[in-house]
Copies of this chain bind each other. A is one copy, B any other.
Amino acid sequence: MMSNLIALQSRLAQTDCSALLLPSSDEFLSEYARPRDRRLSWVSGFTGSMGAMIVARDAAAIFVDGRYTEQATRQVDSERVEVCGFGIAAQVAWLQSRLGAGATLAIDTRLHSEQELRRLSDALRDARIEPVLQPRNLIDEVWLDGRPEDSRASVFDYDVRYAGLPREEKIATARSRIATRGQSLLVVADPEDVAWLLNIRSNDSREALARQSLSDPVSQFRVPVPLSRVLLPAEGAPLWFMDRSRLEPALIAALEGMVTICPPDDFDAALARLAEGQRVAANVRRTNHHHATIVQSAGTLENDAGVVAARGIKHENEIAAARHGHKVDAAAVIRFLAWLQDSVGKGTVTELDAAEKVTRIRAEHEEYLGPSMSNLSASGPNAALPHYVPSPDTNRVINDHPIYWLDSGGQYLGCSTDNTVCFAVGEPERKHVLAHTLVVKGWLALGRARFPEGVDSSQLDSFARQHLWHHGMDFRHGTGHGVGNFMNIHEVPHIRREIDHPAIAPIVAGMIISNEPGYYEEGDFGVRIESHILAVPSQFPGYLEFETLSTLPLDPNLVDETLLDRSEAEWLAAYHDRLVDGYRDMLDGPSLTWLENIAGKFRAMALAKGA
């Protein structure tokens, strides 16, 4: 890493710029950048999902939020790189103190959204630091040897059995929306929007599965979507900027006459040509500054998040596939849990052992197409970090602490899963049981809620927090997020407190959202449970309720029945009885016995409450 930083600084000294800004994002503003785009990691050694670095000729700093401070300090060369807080203010302050007024900062306009870069440029100019905005990056001149190749995973026609609507219908709807608004062009700059719109997916996750090191659960997963963009004119075929050689022949045939496949390098020129003098729709949060500038130079840019909004409302085919995929996946997780309880009774199990095991069990099923996320396998104090991913450095023996949780998921045709189970592997303390019971009560309150269709998603957030709040407790992450279909597990809408968050949206039938309250006591322990819930019509017209898609057991040893009301206890008993019935044919004998034992304990709790 040190030599990478030095190489970059040497190259920087040959330019007119005083420093260079390196965000963790790629030019698609992806949540998970592919390895060849992890420039920040290559220069710094930092592997967290979010951060930024400023490299000057003889100084450097990395900017990370609180959850990554410790990890960054451990991973970077602390003699050469300062670890600072996240955000524009910290970056500007560092530049002012290190370089002073009059400095110039090179910024790659492909790696920032329009909105973000406008704010940053304003702050820099206020501090008399000159941003140098260009759609290129010095790192790309020095990171040559050993830079990972682009994905070559094939791209296939995603069958409507899993995709829902045919692509021609989705295209027609998008086209008619922009036409209604008098716009001439829709820029689809988010690869996930493209995959949804064109009904295509890639074999990236299958390949990741095939080549995976199961003991390295962290970096193995890939979003099964090719990095590509679409230009959809109000008239004429959509232009898909995608490497044709990766497309399966059947897909090429299916797109014939409907979608024009163009070389990715032609995108900028085509955008400039089609935007000329026109009103252009684009999701400004997912269109990078470079492309936004091309549009603004040629025509008018108008914000439109219509594709991502449509993507969040699942078709009946998607819902049927999700019900099936969640069942297959949950059976694997139940087998894992039974294995875990058995194994910690016989010997030591580490977080990484467990992370590997759950992937192995999932991989036994023929429908499993790879992991949907890193396996967050967390014990004791590590479990107090909501986004903890185990590594050899941090790997704990699960037996050493009563509380363990696993947040993991798989890819299936029609379904991406992402669930969290939390179990005691030893004798839990009173505080563990209290925290977990309050989390369960919040999970029940959200999962059992009934509400008017169209309620803003933020309105449901406090249901999940209310019981924690009552004890002066809370959690600092969102309560839930929309979930992709064989795609990125994170989508619009989110259920969260922040009423001005861009992912707050009205809840309508067909949305699949995670329900994942937790509680974290720093340096001590943490608990979280997570399932996916589907908004469905209730018996009352105009009112929705949730169907729990990922039905996984809770740990009765972590539930204080005196804190449950009777209807909660009855609901939990019936839920676990349904689990036994539903998974009976999918479990081996010991796993089924283990699950029956759990269900029995919840039945006993309900009886004790007078049910």
Residues of A at the B interface (CB closer than 8 Å) are 449-452, 455-456, 458-463, 466, 469-472, 474, 497, 499-500, 504, 538-543, 565-567
Contact = CB atoms under 8 A, between A and B. Distances in A.
- Specify which of A469, A471, A567 lies most central, judged by the most chain B CB atoms within 10 Å of its CB: A469
- A-B complex: 9 closest residue pairs judged by Cβ atoms: A472-B540, A499-B499, A472-B543, A459-B462, A450-B470, A451-B469, A450-B469, A565-B565, A456-B499
A466 B463 contact: yes
A565 to B, nearest CB: 5
17 contacts: A449-B466, A450-B469, A451-B466, A452-B474, A456-B497, A458-B459, A458-B499, A459-B459, A459-B462, A459-B499, A460-B462, A462-B462, A472-B540, A472-B541, A472-B543, A565-B565, A565-B567
A540 B472 CA distance: 5
B449 A497 contact: no
Contact of A463 (B450, B462, B567): B462
A59 B217 CA distance: 76
Contacts of A460: 462
Contacts of A451: 462, 466, 469
A542 B462 CA distance: 16
A57 B456 CA distance: 45
Contacts of A539: 472
Contacts of A472: 450, 538-543
Contacts of A461: 459
B469 A543 contact: yes
- Specify which of A449, A466, A497 lies most central, judged by the most chain B CB atoms within 10 Å of its CB: A466
Contacts of A538: 472
Given A456-B497, A565-B567, 12 more contacts: A449-B469, A449-B470, A451-B462, A451-B469, A452-B469, A458-B499, A459-B459, A459-B499, A469-B543, A472-B543, A499-B500, A565-B565
Contact of A504 (B450, B499, B541): B499
Contacts of A456: 497, 499
Contacts of A450: 469-470, 472
Contacts of A455: 462, 497
